[in-house]
Structure 1
């Protein structure tokens, strides 16, 4: 079984706890990666093979997205940010996120 879930504060603070918890799981990142250090730290700490992206809407964001409502195009902003943080090409991040999505939905 594959499950997507937000990481608990305990898992966010301990790579050991999160890695054990994440063995069969994925977690999903929202556009708050653009302005929340905690979300950015998750990308730096955990493997891209465990990540998916979403817009988590309808939702009004903060930071550089303040006052903007969720829109599907925002996943592209998240993926570009993931690319920068992981020091990977945008194409490679898109490819891995696509593979993760196919695995999750068993496509």
Structure 2
């Protein structure tokens, strides 16, 4: 299980025209068009939550409009629904969640208590 994003980090066309800068500035030159950088994404940034099933050699993925905890857990629930028959056979799933809190002692203790790898 992994998540990829943001998938489209492209600037939107702007309406500002700038002068040519630097040492080679030509005073007679017309302003050149430039694309303004966008630092806010009010409508969200698409993220891909993907998983690879080694046993069946299949890939599963969903593109979500925004990235948050509930969307990630929704993807985990979907993956769990694919392996319902395996739960009776004591099948273990290991989800590696790489984040900045991976070295937290409380989370490590919780993982040991839950018998997770």
Structure 2 length as normaliser, TM-score?
0.27
Could you say which structure has the greater relative contact order, defined with CA pairs below 8 angstroms and 6 or more residues apart? 1
Give 1 or 2: higher helix fraction. 1
Structure of larger gyration radius: 2
